[in-house]
Structure 1
Amino acid sequence: MAAGGPAPEPRILLWLGVLLARWVAAESEAAVVGEVHENVSLQCGNISRPRGLVTWYREDVEPVFLLSSNSSLPPAEPRFSLGNASSLHIEGLRLQDEGNYTCREVLNETQWFRVCLQVASGPYQNEVNISATGKLPNGTLYAARGTQVAFSCSSSSRPPPVVEWWFRAPDSRIEPFGNNLAASSFALLQVSQNLQGNYTCVAMNMLSSRRHEVTTELLVYYPPPSSPQCWAETSPGWTTLQLICHWDGGYPEPHLLWTEEPGGVVLGESTLGVQSLKRFQLSNGKKFKCLGSHILGTKSEASCVLQIRSPSLLSDPMKTCLVGGNVTLTCQVSDAYPSAKILWLRNLTQPKVTIESSDHYIISQHGQSSTLTIRNCSQHLDGGYYVCRAENLVGIREVDIWLIVKEPLSIGGVVGTSVSLLLLALGIISVLVFYHNPVFCRKGRNLSREEDNGDVMVLVDSEEEEEEEKEDAAVEDREEEEEHKRVALRKETVRHGHIHQVTALVNGNLEQMGNGLQALEDDLRELQSDVVQEEGGPV
């Protein structure tokens, strides 16, 4: 020990050297960033030149020895080692390792180098919260269109990270939504369909530039705006009836359920809404119900009902066609659901042979109305009855139409018929007049009798003349009474038996002319015969 006094302790000299290094070498201070659990190396000045004795210290309340290039001095911890004869290598970096480090190098002179170590941590995970309506089994979130959806994202990191939101719609580029130094949150007041897509939360450690991101898919759902529509169709092969239910305009597709009513027996369920039924499952008047439900809940449920029916037919029972002319038979189907198939059939030599369209038969159909036009009518080929058949899977209906084919009347025939009608009408009027005025008949017979008596001269006594007059009066009374009965009988027969035929003839109904004319002529001929016999009887 020198005579000038005790030498200063090494710890004090070291602390003074560290302070001097802070003052003198502040401009040479280096900054190093390391991550927790990673390895880091701190450089001691310029490593390209020759190195002297290097010692590393940790700055704290007072300098703490860490490591030296002098092999006789062990490191403070096994985590510390010397690289390139000068660098401090730290393994398994910890948060408490952050701070200032000093390197002392002794070569020709003593030099101090200061290094600032910053330790970064994370971000390791992002916590994302979206106030959606529900979650699918695969984790996808969904929200109802028009509702408010709130977004928030946070992450644990040192230092606190910068958090960003990015949005990417299907088949579009990524768009930023905003950022915040600690957390990011925002709200969509009325979420719409174009805001459906992927939302990505990105957390970045600005010290270490480490990033961590989480992507969440959000779907925007909405129910169909209107009620479901249901109908029935016949399969192409006419083997099954297809119940079809559509509930369009919603997302995703609603769930559709077919039931048989009443009773609610389930027939099938799917998103397609198509249910096939065999013929034996069908009957006239049966009802089926389609119930639609949407994922958004009971408020999005609706239904429709259909009722199947067998066809009904309307048609004229009889039609007339003149030889060589055309005639159209009409068949109208009603109440058929599903729509019926309409066929025309002919029943002559073969039972109910189907008629196909040709030059002679022209078949046309508009909706559920069908017409059969027969051209160039023939008595031999076309007379008889035709069958209109309507058929769906629920039932079959048929109606018969009788066709009369007649020869056309000539001009002479028409004139002769008119004359005959006129004479017939005069005869009937005469009969009616005689019936209502029997005095005319009696006067006529007396006049004839007087004319006959004028040609024969007979001499009688006055007494005989009186007796004869009495006998003649009695005979006339009996004849008048019998004549009155016969004429009344004839009148009732004519009036109630064939007056309608005469009326039909006068009105021009040619179809009844033949039978009516013949019957009336027979009656008049019989009536005239009776009158002649009465006139020629004994007086």
Structure 2
Amino acid sequence: MAAGARAPQPRVLLCLGALLARAVSAGLEAVVIGEALGSVTLLCGNASAPRGLVTWYRNDSEPVFLLSSNSSLPPAVSRFSLVNASALHIEALSLQDEGTYTCQEVLNNTRCFPVSLQVADGPYQVEVNISTAGSLPNGTLFVAKGSQAAFSCRSSARPPPLVEWWFQAAPGRAELFGSNRTLSSFVLLQMSPGLQGNYTCAATNTLSGRQRKVTAELLVYSPPTSAPQCSAETSLVSSTLQLTCRWDGGYPEPDFLWTEEPGGMIVGNSTLGVETVNNSQVEDGKTFKCLGSHIVGPALGASCVVQIKSPSLLSEPMKTCFVGGNVTLTCQVSGASPLAKILWLRNLSQPEVVLQPSNHYLITQAGQSSNLTVHNCSRDLDEGYYVCRAENPVGVREVDIWLSVKEPVNVGSMVGTIISLFLLGVATISGLLLYYSPVFCWKGGTLRGQDMGDVMVLVDSEEEEEAEGVEKEDADEEEDETREELTKEVHKHGHIHRVTALVNGNLEQLKNGLQDLQDDNSAQQSDSVQDEEPS
């Protein structure tokens, strides 16, 4: 207030006191809200009514003059001015300006109009804090999956602001967590990927309606759930060695560091885990190591190794195919790291010409096993060496396979020849057995002391006896024909038994046959003696 401001007259005090008492009791005073550092205009009653002399007072312990429409009275503070010779306009509001103001109008009579001014301050700053959260270089916050996260929000304002927490998953609609004057902090016990998104704290001044909000993006990271896997491959573009490291199950992707072991010389570092190695660094048996690290652990990371090896080949050295038939050549590769490329070649005048699949050549591959099938074999075109080649960035291995093409065999003739040879062998063996078997002996009924010649003599003697029998029949027709026939039958059957025994190798039957032969010879000799005696 300016020092030269005049004190109000007694009637003014009476008017203000009575009016203030009635307005407070009836709740009729106007309320105007302004913001600190802003401006506000307080109206004097009904602005459309005719105006007389208007004077504004500040109601503290006693009325304090502010300014008047009487130009001879200067305003107490330069921030105060009249609008339309009646309304009080205040610039650069402060908290001290809050209070009750009275407009006194003197026209035909004196009227007083009270106005309550409330000054709102803030919120000027909203601070959001999420504990146990890490921060990325761009300011984004993150927490580990399964961990706890404590959220708090602070804001300076007068009066204390209304605090609201909102959550919005990306993409999705915002979800209200709560809204009251005390909800400035809360805790989430189990962070999961579903709780990843934008967290917004909104502070609202209940007087001015001014709102300030701060949004924090929170990511929920999880470490890989499996062990890292290393592999070596051949680059399709440059046929160089390509190292690949995978560590699945984590979010975000881990970082990978490839080193050459032993020694730890760095080959490359990236988030892809793929590195290309120069051919000069590739040697059989060399080892490369991949070290994976993740932003949420484990602290020491995880690693895997891969060893580079040249291929080894296994195949049959010779194969046979009949003219017009089919044959399959097989080539098995083992121990190759990275996996080998398998090719088939003909070892002819141009050994470097690779065989291509066609109607004549069918090439199939399953894993590291390759098959070459030759259809409709021809001696002129297909017989010869075939080469299976396996190559990777470490080395090249080759193996030769000789394919022999033959004319088909007549199966019927072969079977007949086999049977004939078998029978001939059986006959030969039987003859040898008979020739080298123990010698037959007539004396004492034994089978020793004689050779096969004796048996043959027996057969010849029997034939001679039969001839003599015939001559006797011609010479002596008076003999008893019944006896002669009986004698012939006995001789005849004895001969059959003996021959059968010789053929079948039945020694017992042969022995019996020889005994019968001796008996027959003795009988014949007796008969001959009897025939000779009468003469």
Task: Name the TM-score, length of structure 1 as normaliser.
Answer: 0.72
State the shift of 1:124 in Å.
Answer: 0.8
Any residues of structure 2 matched to 1:426-465 within 5 Å, and which?
A: none
In the alignment, does 2:397 pair up with 1:397?
Answer: yes
Aligned to 2:30: 30
What is the CA–CA distance in structure 1 between the aligned matches of 2:380 and 2:104, rounded to whole Å? 135
Does residue 301 (structure 1) correspond to residue 298 (structure 2)? The answer is: no
Unaligned runs of 5+ in 2: 1-6, 437-450, 452-535
- 1:233-275 C-alpha deviation (Å, 9 max, x unpaired): 2222452222222222221111122222222221111111111
State the Cα distance separating 1:163 from its structure 2 match: 1.0
Between the aligned partners of 1:38 and 1:408, the Cα distance in structure 2 is 112
Given that 2:385 and 2:403 are in contact with CA atoms closer than 8 Å, whether structure 1 keeps it comes out as yes
Q: Which amino acid in the other structure matches residue 198 of structure 2?
A: N
Report what 1:18 is aligned to. Answer: 16
- What residue is the counterpart of 1:78 in the other structure? 78
1:310 alignment partner in structure 2: 310
Q: Please name the residue that 1:529 is paired with.
A: none
Q: 367-376 or 172-181: which moved more?
A: 367-376
Name the structure 1 match of 2:162: 162
Q: State how far apart, in whole Å, the 2-side matches of 1:210 and 1:130 are.
A: 25
In the alignment, what sits opposite 1:186? 186
Displacement of 1:125 in angstroms is 0.9
> Partners in 2 of 1:412 and 1:111 — Cα distance?
146
Moved over 6 A (4+): 413-427
- CA-CA distance at 1:133 after TM superposition: 2.1
**Which residue in 2 is equivalent to 1:105?**
105
Superposed CA RMSD = 3.0
Query: Following the alignment from structure 1 to structure 2, what is the Cα–Cα distance between the partners of residues 360 and 41?
Result: 102
User: How big is the shift at 1:74?
Assistant: 2.1
Q: CA deviation at 1:12?
A: 4.4
Distance 1:324 1:255 in 2: 60
Query: 2-side partners of 1:424 and 1:379: how far apart?
Result: 39
**Residue 49 of structure 2 aligns to which amino acid in structure 1?**
R
Q: In the TM superposition, what whole-angstrom CA distance separates every residue of 1:321-359 from its partner, at most 9, and x where no partner exists?
A: 444444332222111222222222222444454333444
Closer, same or farther: CA 300–145 of 1 in aligned 2, 3 Å: farther
1:127 & 1:388 partners in 2: Cα distance? Answer: 72
Q: Deviations over 1:360-409 (max 9, x none)?
A: 44333322222333344444444333222222222111112233344455
What amino acid sits opposite 1:77 in the alignment? V
Paired residue for 2:120?
A: 120
Does the 8 A contact of 1:132 with 1:141 survive in 2? no
| Number of matched pairs | 425
Match of residue 225 from structure 1: 225
2:19 partner SS? helix
Sort the Cα spacing of 1:116 and 1:363 in 2 relative to 1 into closer, same or farther, 3 A. Answer: closer
- Report deviation, 1:132: 3.8
Q: Give the AA of the match of 1:159.
A: P
Rounded to whole Å, the distance in 2 between the matches of 1:219 and 1:256 is: 22
State how far apart, in whole Å, the 1-side matches of 2:273 and 2:8 are: 93
Cα distance in 1 between the residues matched to 2:114 and 2:232: 89
How do 1:379-390 residues align onto structure 2 when only pairs under 5 Å count?
379-390=379-390
Q: Is contact 1:154-1:183 (8 Å) kept?
A: no
Residues in 2 aligned to 1:324 and 1:190: alpha-carbon distance in whole angstroms:
74
Tell me the residue number matched to 2:474: none
Contact 1:25 1:112 in 2 (8 A): no
Q: Distance in 1 between matches of 2:81 and 2:334?
A: 101
Which residue number corresponds to residue 41 of structure 2? 41
The CA distance in 2 between the partners of 1:110 and 1:97, in whole Å, is 26
Contact 1:160 1:182 in 2 (8 A): no
Q: Which residue of 2 aligns with 1:536?
A: none
Q: Please give the secondary structure, in 2, of the residue aligned with 1:96.
A: helix
Q: Matched residues, percent identical?
A: 63
Matches within 5 A, 1:222-371: 222-237=222-237, 239-299=239-299, 301-351=301-351, 353-371=353-371
Name the SS of the counterpart of 2:202 in structure 1.
Answer: strand
Structure 1 letter corresponding to 2:259: T
Provide the C-alpha distance between the structure 2 equivalents of 1:45 and 1:350, rounded to a whole number of angstroms. 114
- Deviation, structure 1 residue 208: 1.2
Out of 360-369 and 204-213, give the one that drifted further.
360-369
- Once residues 161 and 383 of structure 1 are traced to their aligned partners in structure 2, the CA distance between those partners, rounded to angstroms, is 96
Whether 1:214 and 2:243 are equivalent positions in the alignment is: no
Cα pair 1:231 1:243 within 8 Å, conserved: yes
1:131, 1:67 → 2: CA distance?
Answer: 55
The answer to whether the 8 Å contact 2:223/2:297 transfers is: no
Q: Which residue identity lines up with residue 193 of structure 1 in the other structure?
A: P
**Equivalent pair of 1:233/1:338 in contact (CA under 8 Å):** yes
The 3 A distance-change label for structure 1 pair 56 and 423 is closer
3-state DSSP of counterpart to 1:297: coil
Query: Structure 1 residues 285-294 or 161-170, which shifts more?
Result: 285-294
What aligned pairs does 1:414-425 form with structure 2 within 5 A after superposition? none
Worse-matched range after superposition: 121-130 or 239-248: 239-248
Gaps of 5+ in 1: 1-8, 435-443, 445-539
Could you tell me how far apart the structure 1 residues matched to 2:29 and 2:138 are? 53
Superposed CA deviations along residues 4-41 of structure 1, whole A, max 9, x for unmatched, are xxxxx965444333212223455442111121112222
2:184 alignment partner, SS class: strand
Look up the match of 2:479. none
The alpha carbon displacement at 1:419 in A equals 7.1
